Structure 1
Amino acid sequence: MEVEARSGGSGASEGRWSQSGTSLPVRNVQALAGSAAELTADTIQRYIQPDVEGDTVLAEHSDEVPVIDLGKLLDAESVEAEAAKLRFACEDWGFFQVVNHGIPIEVIADMKHDIQKFFQLPLEVKNAYAQRVGDLQGYGQAFVLSDDQKLDWSDMFGLFSQPPQARDMSYWPNQPPNFRNSIEEYSSELMKLTHSLATFIAKTIDVDPELMEDKHVGQFLRMNYYPPCTTTPEKVLGFSPHSDGSFLTILLEVNAVQGLQIRRHGAWIPVKPRADALLVNVGDFLELFC
């Protein structure tokens, strides 16, 4: 499981986990994965990605994703060296892990806990927050545009979380009991972090920070659940290859399962989760500045 916070507009770094718009309703993957009777060869066929096995994956490079220390960016003695690392990460990788990010441990722990509890709720409870026609928010699967396209092996729950006036509270769950408060606190902390990162990135790439001042005020929170696939795990993807049409995407991985891969120099590199870090993706919109 994971939660993504996408900030900013539309506009390339690539990850397997964008386009915006509505989505056609599809069956629940979590329920499908848990039913041996329903998981037939015909059923799984729509989830099989034909080209996935031919991709080059450099598993030995999983420790190479740049790590940026926000504390060092705030320290006059270390800011120059750390800013150089940040510039390299943005321009050469399009991804970096940020440590000492300032979000309280308890805020992250509450968010992780409530995301897991939400996806453990009965399907009929989660479906009370299902996506509605013409809306990308809610529980379901995003970006399903036709009845014959290949599907991701995942379920998602999405919310417009910032600014507050953009929220549709009918999508905000009452279960688990503290979930709304967890989302509010985590979302607010992410806004602070995004502002800090945008300021440092602007200075690093020699762009006036004021030009970025209003580029990251919108925030879409996407929570993803990837159930195990017991039939053809090597042929399905939790999130098809894509680039994020955003300013920044900040990713929190709920557990230590290694699944995310990012594309660099024509190959896929697995990302080893760090308990003390958040993963940052330079979106298409920000890449226009780099």
Structure 2
Amino acid sequence: MEIEAPIIVASAGEGRWSQAGTTLPVSNVQALASSAGKLTADKIKRYIRPDIDAYEVLSEHSGEVPVIDLGKLLKPESAETEAAKLRFACEDWGFFQLVNHGIPEGVIANIKSDIQKFFQLPLDVKNAYAQRVGDLQGYGQAFILSDEQKLDWADMFGLFSQPPQARDMSYWPSQPPTFRNSIEEYSSELTKLARSVVTFIAKTLDVDLELVADKHVGQFLRMNYYPPCTSTPEKVIGFSPHSDGSFLTILLEINSVQGLQIRRGGAWIPVKPRADALLVNVGDFLEIMTNGKYKSIEHRVTINAHKERLSISAFQLPKYDGIVSPILGRTEEVLYKTMRVEEYAKLYMSNKRDGKRTLDHAKLSPI
């Protein structure tokens, strides 16, 4: 049985998440990649990253991203032990793989299939859902703020899916025909799952559930397509290093192509996802709320030379007109500001992806 957390009815302000920032239109990377034989250095110069090797990549690492079993968290005889593992994962890794998550296999199979079909559609069909000026939703890229900025080797399709009143249905594709239903089902299951996970996180912090009840009511789905790069895969990046401007993020790998790396101990560690797991990571808002106990970890996506990679990220977001404030122990020093969610969202959306730079604005002193 799922543990119930208080349910907050989101205000109309949730719709303003989509206007928190904007992005400039850029060329479609999938089409660029498909013309690999015609690529010139000039065509891809905005994608080449001279600093991509600034940190070591550990291909073989003694540690693995912790695995958390939701089923064990729900059973009284195993809840305490599993909760200790969850606390360790949030404190030490900022990431964990969640198994026995309860989302039906059919729901996952449908969203995977429809995302693959969507990115296989002709470019003119996908462009019918292109991002519009002043809106973060739609088909394109994210966080492009200048014409000189380096670009990620990826195409993305983003939708606000929760709460229902935040949706702009003009972005919801009619092709493939089952896509809208697949998004609705997957989004609804994720909402229930996020409520359970946040409930257990609150228990690891020994805080009242009311304090986290409005921290995950918004949901932005970002579907990611990373084409192969046959010419210089080692010099392009699928998604620039960043932490997530969310409370929690839940990632589903669509195919088995690896690419996600997390920064740990001054090096990049490749994540090897389990087929039966969802990958969950701490977002910036949770780091602020825990006064830095739980860390929002810098991560990036690398590119395969021969295979495309697809995934879908669900960013669970606080109420847009809410406040996030550190929860403190009796003798604990305050390290983070109390911030309006809207203020942080606008800061996050108006900066290019550059590690955890945005989160520095929330700190009262260097940590």
The amino acid across from 1:253 in the alignment is: E
Shift of 1:37: 5.5
Task: Tell me, yes or no, if the aligned pair for 1:257 and 1:273 is still in contact at 8 Å.
Answer: no
- CA-to-aligned-CA distance 1:182-219 (integer Å, 9 cap, x gap): 00000000000000000000000222111000110000
Task: Tell me, yes or no, if the aligned pair for 2:97 and 2:273 is still in contact at 8 Å.
Answer: no
Q: What is the match of residue 225 of structure 2? A: 225
Q: What is the match of residue 324 of structure 2? A: none
Q: What is the match of residue 105 of structure 1? A: 105
Task: Tell me, yes or no, if the aligned pair for 2:159 and 2:167 is still in contact at 8 Å.
Answer: yes
Task: Tell me, yes or no, if the aligned pair for 1:62 and 1:272 is still in contact at 8 Å.
Answer: no
Q: Distance in 2 between matches of 1:69 and 1:58?
A: 26
Q: Distance in 2 between matches of 1:209 and 1:264?
A: 30
The amino acid across from 1:218 in the alignment is: G
Task: Tell me, yes or no, if the aligned pair for 2:36 and 2:230 is still in contact at 8 Å.
Answer: no
- CA-to-aligned-CA distance 1:207-252 (integer Å, 9 cap, x gap): 2111000110000000000000011100111000001011000000
Paired residues, number = 272
- CA-to-aligned-CA distance 1:100-147 (integer Å, 9 cap, x gap): 000000000000000000000000000000000000000000110000
**2:276 paired with 1:264:** no
Task: Tell me, yes or no, if the aligned pair for 1:63 and 1:272 is still in contact at 8 Å.
Answer: no
Task: Tell me, yes or no, if the aligned pair for 1:62 and 1:270 is still in contact at 8 Å.
Answer: no
Q: Distance in 2 between matches of 1:177 and 1:143?
A: 30
Q: Distance in 2 between matches of 1:144 and 1:62?
A: 36
**2:75 paired with 1:75:** yes
- CA-to-aligned-CA distance 1:5-50 (integer Å, 9 cap, x gap): xxx9xxxxxxxxxxx6111000000000001354210111100112
The amino acid across from 1:164 in the alignment is: P
Helix, strand or coil for the counterpart of 2:71? helix
Q: What is the match of residue 175 of structure 1? A: 175
Q: What is the match of residue 115 of structure 1? A: 115
- CA-to-aligned-CA distance 1:80-108 (integer Å, 9 cap, x gap): 11000000000111100000000000000
Q: Distance in 1 between matches of 2:40 and 2:151?
A: 16
Helix, strand or coil for the counterpart of 1:44? coil
Per the normalisation by structure 1, the TM-score is 0.92
Task: Tell me, yes or no, if the aligned pair for 1:62 and 1:271 is still in contact at 8 Å.
Answer: no
Shift of 1:57: 1.1
Query: What are the residue-to-residue correspondences of 1:1-290 with 2, within 5 Å?
Result: 21-36=21-36, 38-61=38-61, 64-290=64-290
Task: Tell me, yes or no, if the aligned pair for 1:159 and 1:167 is still in contact at 8 Å.
Answer: yes
The amino acid across from 1:41 in the alignment is: A
Cα distance change, pair 147–239 in 1 and its aligned pair in 2 (3 A):
same
The amino acid across from 1:199 in the alignment is: T
Helix, strand or coil for the counterpart of 2:42? helix
**Percent identity over the alignment?**
82
Task: Tell me, yes or no, if the aligned pair for 1:62 and 1:269 is still in contact at 8 Å.
Answer: no
Q: Distance in 1 between matches of 2:191 and 2:142?
A: 24
Q: Distance in 2 between matches of 1:185 and 1:221?
A: 13
User: Pairwise CA RMSD of aligned residues?
Assistant: 1.3
Helix, strand or coil for the counterpart of 1:149? coil
Q: Distance in 2 between matches of 1:39 and 1:28?
A: 14
Q: Distance in 2 between matches of 1:153 and 1:215?
A: 31
Task: Tell me, yes or no, if the aligned pair for 1:141 and 1:156 is still in contact at 8 Å.
Answer: yes
Q: Distance in 1 between matches of 2:249 and 2:99?
A: 15
Q: Which has the higher contact order (CA 8 A, sep 6+)?
A: 1
- CA-to-aligned-CA distance 1:146-196 (integer Å, 9 cap, x gap): 000000000000000000000000000000010000000000000000000
Whichever of the two has the greater Rg, that structure is 2
Q: What stretches of structure 1 move > 3 A for 4+ residues in a row? A: none
Per the normalisation by structure 2, the TM-score is 0.73
- Which range is displaced more, 59-68 or 49-58? 59-68
- CA-to-aligned-CA distance 1:48-93 (integer Å, 9 cap, x gap): 1121123211121286100000000001111111000000000111
Q: Distance in 2 between matches of 1:179 and 1:196?
A: 26
Q: Distance in 2 between matches of 1:62 and 1:220?
A: 34
Q: Distance in 2 between matches of 1:237 and 1:113?
A: 25
Helix, strand or coil for the counterpart of 2:189? helix
Task: Tell me, yes or no, if the aligned pair for 1:174 and 1:180 is still in contact at 8 Å.
Answer: yes
Structure 1: gaps (5+ residues): 1-7, 9-19
